[in-house]
Structures are given as structure tokens and as C-alpha cells.
């Protein structure tokens, strides 16, 4: 495998860098740098999406006829990598990276014509209604009922861990329309207007203090059958297709490399447990070196997967492998960042960060006082938020089961 970029790819990289240098304002860079989770501050994320949309780069993975680009897979990777290295705030994945692909593949032309342009502009902002209080990793056990009533499905039940439900005006959801011999049967994929009567949103306060996740209750909510994606009772097919886009496709290693480099730089000025500099502490230095090596390995694996896809081959269980490695490595790095932050990192100072949602019951100091540096305020919030990385998008235990079956034949 040749790890060098071609002349055309190098020229594209330079084009992307020039665009980022010009369009990423100081405020947007700050929003990216001070993110406390995988979700950027909502307003900054939408502002960056508008800039990308103007350039035609908001949804590069979409078909060209719907607003995508004709980039090669290598160019997609370069764009993702350079955006992370430049500190761009992330875009919400729910619309552009997830449900849009299901609409393109399984939706009607009317659904495509209505939703896709509005997803690009941000006029339509989606949240995901999958998990339920008793259905998480075993998603096929979901119980939210959708009863057939003429032209509508009448939905009753609840969804939980619904990211940005308070900001979203639409939800894509899996609902139970019938029961069959297998629990995957009788599930339907629907799009729900969040302004429909009978919907109630209860924010969930995370350990970080942020209200990004929510529980959403449905009480006889009428959803037109015209909002079904695919066929009634065959939503599991749509959901499996969508998961291919939820568990990979981007470059995750560069952002982790940046974080590891920042920790190494910060550790030079931080005291160690036995005096001297933290970077000189053998235990800390060893764990940081190990994490940095693992980021290099992760990037090589991302390159290998990119090469497989570029050749038109199916990457197989690679997405599961990358999901496990990237989320567990991210947890390791955020733990190191919290250690490097020291005592000042223990202070709860969300006013110095740019969280992905409102912060509950916190009154910032009137003078904006901050103990330490902004990165020290970010460190504990990232640490707490990252604990969920090995659970969301299919727990890492589930991913290891997939690897055991697909790669080892167990």
C-alpha cells in the first residue's frame, strides 16, 4: 500500500487547506477546539454547515444530483482529515450523514425532493429515535407501538438518549407496527414532525451537566404513512443500511493525534506526582507514548480500509474494528487529558467551554473567572462525555461479537 498522496490528491489537500484557512473564523475554530463531546455547539455547527453548503461541501458523500460531490474516496478522507486538523466544529451527523442516505436509498421521489434540500440548508434538523428504556444494544426488541389508522400510524411509547431532540424539528424513528416470528420483523422506519401534538421532550442531565440527550414521549402521535421510509414492517432493512453510515467513513485518527499532541505540550508545564514535570513521570510518559502509537496504528487501519473500498471491495467487519479501536483510544486520551489538567481540571467550569447543549443549573462567575486554562476546563467534560463512546452506535461488546463471527468464524 502506497501511503503517499498522488499529485492530484496533494493539490486537492492544498485546496481544502486554503478554504479552511479562509472560512474558519476565530469563533468557529474556538467552537471546535472547546468542544466537550463529539457534538459541537449547535449554533456554531449550523453556521459552519451554512458555509460548507455555500461551497457545495456540506454533504460530499451524497450523490451529485442531490448536492454531493464527485470526489474520490481518497478526497473524502483528505477533507475529513484536514477539517479535523484545522479544528473545524463538527456537523450533526443525524441528517447529512445518516437519515439522508436512507431517504436517498429507500425514500420516494417526493420525500427526496422535500427533505434533502432542507437538510442541506439546516431548515430540517433531525434527531434519532432508536433506543428505548428497555431496548438499547438489543434494538430489535423495541416496543414503541404504531397502530394502523387509515392514512396514519398512531404512535405511543418513548425513545431515550435522543440527541438534540430540543433543537430538532424532525425525528427519524423505528416503531413497532406488527409482531412476527423474529423480533426484527414488524418494525417500520418513519419520519416524525416534532411539532405534532402528543410529543413531550424531557431533557436528561448528563454527568457533565449538559442537556444534550433527552427522553421523548409519544401519546397517540399521528404520523402520516407518507412519512414511512421503505415499506411498512420492513424498517429493519432500512436501519441496517443506515448503520453502515453511522459506524465509520470518516477520519478519526487525526483528531486524536491533535489531542495527544496537546496533552504532551501541556504536560511539559504541569507538575508530576513526585515533583518535576508531568511529562518526565515514567508512568504518564509511557501511557501517553502508547496512546500516540495507537493513533498512528489507527490511521494506518483507516488508510487500509480506504484502500479496500477504493478498489470496490467490501470492507467487511472493518467498521466494527475501527469503531472499537477509535472509541476506546479516545477514552484513553481523554483520561490522560484529565490527569494532565491536574487539580484545576477538577473544577466544574463549563462557562469556559463550548458544549453541545445547554448546561443545567450552573451560574457562571459574573467576572468570567477561570481557574487554569480553557483546556483544563474542557478536560473533565470530555472525559465524562467520552465514557459513552464505547456504548453508542452499537456497544463495543456487540462489535466484538460481530468481529468474532465475521473475522474469526466463532
Q: Give all strands (DSSP E) within 225-340, no chain letters.
A: 228-229
User: Domain locations in the chain?
Assistant: 7-91, 126-244, 247-406
Q: How far apart are CA 93 and CA 249, in angstroms?
A: 12
Q: How far is CA 268 from CA 1, 265, 294, 374, in A?
A: 36, 6, 21, 17
CB 382 within 8 A of CB 356: no
Beta carbons of 124 and 83 less than 8 angstroms apart: no
- What's the confidence (pLDDT) of residue 314? 67
Number of helices (H) and strands (E), helices first, in the chain? 13, 8
Whole-number pLDDT of residue 274: 78
8 Å CB contact between 383 and 330: no
Q: What is the DSSP letter of 97?
A: I
DSSP summary character for residue 143: -
DSSP assignment, residue 90? Answer: P
pTM value is 0.89
CA 345 and chain centroid, separation: 25
Would you write out the chain's pLDDT as a tens digit for each of its 410 residues?
566 788 999 999 999 999 999 999 999 999 999 999 989 999 999 999 999 999 999 999 899 999 999 998 889 889 998 999 999 999 999 999 999 999 999 999 999 999 999 999 999 999 999 999 988 778 889 999 999 999 999 999 999 999 999 999 999 999 999 998 888 999 999 999 999 999 999 999 988 899 999 999 999 999 999 999 999 999 999 998 887 665 445 678 888 999 999 999 999 988 888 788 999 999 999 999 999 999 999 999 988 887 777 676 767 788 888 889 999 999 999 999 999 999 988 889 999 999 999 998 889 999 999 998 999 999 999 999 999 889 887 788 888 998 898 888 88
Instruction: Give the total residue count for the chain.
Output: 410
pLDDT value of position 250: 64
- pLDDT score for 273: 83
pLDDT of the residue at 1: 55
- The pLDDT score that the predictor gives to residue 232 is 97
Phi then psi dihedrals of residue 79, to 5 deg: -60, -45
Q: What class is the 126-244 domain?
A: mainly beta
CATH of domain 247-406: 1.20.140.10
Q: What does each C-alpha distance from 154 to 144, 147, 302 come to in angstroms?
A: 10, 5, 43
Amino acid at each position: 500500500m502506497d501511503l503517499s498522496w498522488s499529485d492530484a490528491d496533494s493539490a486537492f489537500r492544498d485546496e481544502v487547506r486554503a478554504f479552511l484557512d479562509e472560512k474558519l473564523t476565530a469563533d468557529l475554530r474556538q467552537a471546535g477546539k472547546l468542544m466537550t463531546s463529539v457534538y459541537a455547539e449547535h449554533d456554531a455547527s449550523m453556521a459552519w454547515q451554512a458555509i460548507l453548503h455555500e461551497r457545495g461541501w456540506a454533504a460530499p458523500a451524497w450523490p451529485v444530483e442531490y448536492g454531493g460531490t464527485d470526489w474520490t474516496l481518497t478526497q473524502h478522507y483528505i477533507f475529513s482529515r484536514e477539517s479535523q486538523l484545522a479544528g473545524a466544529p463538527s456537523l450533526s451527523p443525524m441528517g447529512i450523514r445518516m437519515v439522508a442516505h436512507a431517504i436517498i436509498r429507500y425514500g420516494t421521489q417526493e420525500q427526496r425532493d422535500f427533505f434533502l434540500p432542507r437538510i442541506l440548508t439546516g431548515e430540517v434538523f433531525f434527531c434519532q429515535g432508536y433506543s428505548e428504556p428497555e431496548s438499547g444494544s438489543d434494538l430489535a426488541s423495541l416496543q414503541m407501538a404504531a397502530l394502523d389508522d387509515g392514512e396514519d400510524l398512531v404512535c405511543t411509547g418513548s425513545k431515550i438518549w435522543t440527541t438534540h431532540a430540543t433543537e430538532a424539528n424532525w425525528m427519524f424513528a423505528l416503531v413497532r407496527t406488527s409482531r412476527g416470528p423474529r423480533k426484527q420483523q414488524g418494525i417500520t422506519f418513519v419520519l416524525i414532525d416534532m411539532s405534532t401534538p402528543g410529543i413531550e421532550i424531557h431533557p436528561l442531565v448528563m454527568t457533565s451537566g449538559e442537556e444534550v440527550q433527552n427522553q421523548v414521549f409519544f401519546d397517540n402521535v399521528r404520523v402520516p404513512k407518507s412519512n414511512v421510509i421503505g415499506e411498512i414492517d420492513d424498517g429493519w432493512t432500512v436501519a441496517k443500511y443506515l448503520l453502515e453510515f453511522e459506524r465509520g467513513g470518516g477520519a478519526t485518527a487525526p483528531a486524536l493525534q491533535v489531542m495527544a499532541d496537546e496533552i504532551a505540550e501541556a504536560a511539559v508545564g504541569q507538575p508530576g506526582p513526585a515533583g518535576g514535570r508531568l511529562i518526565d513521570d515514567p508512568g504518564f510518559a509511557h501511557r501517553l507514548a502508547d496512546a500516540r502509537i495507537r493513533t498512528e496504528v489507527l490511521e494506518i487501519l483507516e488508510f487500509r480500509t480506504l484502500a479496500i473500498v477504493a478498489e470496490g471491495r467490501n470492507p467487511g467487519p472493518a467498521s466494527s474494528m475501527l469503531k472499537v479501536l477509535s472509541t476506546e483510544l479516545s477514552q484513553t486520551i481523554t483520561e490522560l487529558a484529565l490527569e494532565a489538567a491536574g487539580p484545576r481540571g477538577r473544577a466544574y467550569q463549563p462557562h469556559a467551554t463550548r458544549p453541545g447543549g445547554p448546561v443545567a443549573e450552573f451560574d457562571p462567575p459574573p467576572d468570567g473567572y477561570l481557574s487554569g486554562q480553557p483546556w483544563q476546563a474542557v478536560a473533565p467534560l470530555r472525559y465524562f462525555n467520552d465514557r459513552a463512546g464505547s456504548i453508542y452506535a452499537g456497544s463495543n461488546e456487540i462489535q466484538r461479537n460481530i468481529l468474532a463471527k465475521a473475522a474469526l468464524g466463532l
